[in-house]
Amino acid sequence: QFAQCLVRNCREDDIVARFGGEEFIILLRAETEPEALATAERLRSWVAAREFVLDGHVVHITASFGVARAEDAASIDRALHASDLALYRAKEAGRNQVCAYDAEIDGVAGVSGPPGGIAPRLSGPSESKAPGRRLGDQSGDLPGSAAAAR
Protein backbone atom coordinates (compact mmCIF):
# COMPACT_ATOMS: atom_id res chain seq x y z
CA GLN A 1 0.00 0.00 0.00
CA PHE A 2 2.76 2.44 0.93
CA ALA A 3 4.66 1.99 -2.35
CA GLN A 4 1.48 2.43 -4.37
CA CYS A 5 0.72 5.63 -2.47
CA LEU A 6 4.19 6.99 -3.22
CA VAL A 7 3.84 6.16 -6.92
CA ARG A 8 0.40 7.78 -7.13
CA ASN A 9 1.70 10.96 -5.50
CA CYS A 10 4.81 11.37 -7.66
CA ARG A 11 5.08 12.60 -11.23
CA GLU A 12 5.12 10.20 -14.15
CA ASP A 13 8.81 10.80 -14.86
CA ASP A 14 9.89 10.26 -11.23
CA ILE A 15 11.12 6.82 -10.23
CA VAL A 16 9.93 5.16 -7.02
CA ALA A 17 11.65 1.94 -5.93
CA ARG A 18 11.77 -0.24 -2.85
CA PHE A 19 15.32 -0.10 -1.55
CA GLY A 20 15.07 -2.57 1.31
CA GLY A 21 12.64 -3.77 3.95
CA GLU A 22 11.10 -0.45 4.94
CA GLU A 23 13.17 1.87 2.77
CA PHE A 24 12.15 3.40 -0.55
CA ILE A 25 13.96 5.72 -2.90
CA ILE A 26 12.43 8.34 -5.14
CA LEU A 27 14.40 9.87 -8.01
CA LEU A 28 12.89 13.27 -8.71
CA ARG A 29 13.78 14.47 -12.18
CA ALA A 30 15.04 18.01 -12.71
CA GLU A 31 13.97 19.46 -9.38
CA THR A 32 15.77 22.16 -7.45
CA GLU A 33 16.54 21.45 -3.81
CA PRO A 34 13.62 23.61 -2.58
CA GLU A 35 11.27 21.77 -4.97
CA ALA A 36 12.59 18.37 -3.87
CA LEU A 37 12.21 19.33 -0.20
CA ALA A 38 8.66 20.55 -0.87
CA THR A 39 7.84 17.27 -2.63
CA ALA A 40 9.27 15.25 0.27
CA GLU A 41 7.35 17.38 2.79
CA ARG A 42 4.12 16.94 0.83
CA LEU A 43 4.64 13.15 0.80
CA ARG A 44 5.58 13.08 4.50
CA SER A 45 2.47 15.04 5.43
CA TRP A 46 0.26 12.93 3.19
CA VAL A 47 1.55 9.66 4.68
CA ALA A 48 1.08 10.94 8.25
CA ALA A 49 -2.55 11.89 7.52
CA ARG A 50 -3.43 8.62 5.74
CA GLU A 51 -4.95 5.50 7.23
CA PHE A 52 -3.48 2.19 6.09
CA VAL A 53 -5.08 -1.22 6.60
CA LEU A 54 -2.78 -3.95 7.88
CA ASP A 55 -4.19 -7.39 8.68
CA GLY A 56 -7.67 -5.89 8.88
CA HIS A 57 -6.61 -3.15 11.31
CA VAL A 58 -6.41 0.56 10.54
CA VAL A 59 -2.92 1.88 11.29
CA HIS A 60 -1.30 5.29 11.07
CA ILE A 61 2.33 5.48 10.02
CA THR A 62 4.90 8.19 9.54
CA ALA A 63 7.81 8.50 7.14
CA SER A 64 11.13 10.30 7.31
CA PHE A 65 12.81 11.61 4.15
CA GLY A 66 16.41 12.42 3.30
CA VAL A 67 16.97 14.56 0.20
CA ALA A 68 20.16 15.05 -1.84
CA ARG A 69 20.79 16.94 -5.08
CA ALA A 70 22.59 15.32 -7.97
CA GLU A 71 25.23 18.05 -7.72
CA ASP A 72 26.01 16.73 -4.24
CA ALA A 73 27.32 13.51 -5.75
CA ALA A 74 29.03 12.27 -8.90
CA SER A 75 26.99 9.08 -9.35
CA ILE A 76 23.68 7.51 -8.46
CA ASP A 77 25.31 5.46 -5.69
CA ARG A 78 26.78 8.59 -4.15
CA ALA A 79 23.53 10.56 -4.46
CA LEU A 80 21.66 7.74 -2.75
CA HIS A 81 24.31 7.52 -0.06
CA ALA A 82 23.97 11.28 0.52
CA SER A 83 20.17 11.01 0.77
CA ASP A 84 20.60 8.08 3.18
CA LEU A 85 22.84 10.22 5.43
CA ALA A 86 20.17 12.93 5.43
CA LEU A 87 17.51 10.29 6.16
CA TYR A 88 19.37 9.10 9.26
CA ARG A 89 19.62 12.71 10.44
CA ALA A 90 15.85 13.09 9.91
CA LYS A 91 15.22 9.98 12.00
CA GLU A 92 17.58 11.20 14.73
CA ALA A 93 15.63 14.49 14.80
CA GLY A 94 12.56 12.61 15.99
CA ARG A 95 11.28 10.81 12.89
CA ASN A 96 8.45 12.05 10.67
CA GLN A 97 10.91 14.67 9.36
CA VAL A 98 12.42 15.86 6.07
CA CYS A 99 16.14 16.71 5.99
CA ALA A 100 18.39 17.81 3.13
CA TYR A 101 21.90 16.47 2.70
CA ASP A 102 24.50 18.90 4.02
CA ALA A 103 28.15 18.04 3.34
CA GLU A 104 29.29 20.04 6.39
CA ILE A 105 26.99 18.10 8.73
CA ASP A 106 26.79 14.71 7.02
CA GLY A 107 30.33 14.49 5.68
CA VAL A 108 31.35 13.92 2.10
CA ALA A 109 28.84 11.74 0.26
CA GLY A 110 30.12 8.73 -1.55
CA VAL A 111 33.29 8.16 0.44
CA SER A 112 31.78 4.79 1.25
CA GLY A 113 28.52 3.92 -0.46
CA PRO A 114 26.47 0.75 -0.12
CA PRO A 115 28.52 -2.44 -0.61
CA GLY A 116 28.41 -3.53 -4.23
CA GLY A 117 26.57 -0.41 -5.32
CA ILE A 118 22.85 0.11 -5.64
CA ALA A 119 21.79 -2.88 -7.75
CA PRO A 120 22.22 -5.58 -5.06
CA ARG A 121 20.09 -3.58 -2.58
CA LEU A 122 17.05 -3.24 -4.81
CA SER A 123 14.26 -5.69 -4.07
CA GLY A 124 12.74 -6.10 -7.49
CA PRO A 125 12.00 -3.66 -10.28
CA SER A 126 11.19 -0.04 -9.68
CA GLU A 127 7.65 1.01 -8.95
CA SER A 128 7.93 3.66 -11.64
CA LYS A 129 4.80 4.79 -13.46
CA ALA A 130 6.84 4.93 -16.66
CA PRO A 131 6.50 1.52 -18.35
CA GLY A 132 9.66 -0.47 -18.80
CA ARG A 133 11.91 1.82 -16.75
CA ARG A 134 14.12 0.18 -14.18
CA LEU A 135 16.37 1.92 -11.73
CA GLY A 136 19.35 -0.12 -12.86
CA ASP A 137 18.93 1.25 -16.40
CA GLN A 138 20.08 4.69 -15.28
CA SER A 139 23.48 5.95 -16.34
CA GLY A 140 25.84 7.34 -13.73
CA ASP A 141 24.26 10.77 -14.19
CA LEU A 142 21.37 11.76 -11.97
CA PRO A 143 19.72 14.97 -13.19
CA GLY A 144 17.53 16.05 -10.31
CA SER A 145 17.25 14.89 -6.72
CA ALA A 146 17.22 11.64 -4.82
CA ALA A 147 15.09 11.10 -1.75
CA ALA A 148 15.28 8.18 0.62
CA ALA A 149 12.18 7.42 2.68
CA ARG A 150 11.76 5.12 5.62
From the list 12, 22, 31, 71, the catalytic residue is 22
Helix (H) or strand (E) holding 86: helix 76-92
128 Cβ contact list (under 8 Å, min separation 6): 7, 14, 15, 16, 17, 134, 135
22 is catalytic: yes
Residue 144 phi, psi dihedral angles, 5° rounding: 130, -145
132 Cβ contact list (under 8 Å, min separation 6): none
Active site residues: 22
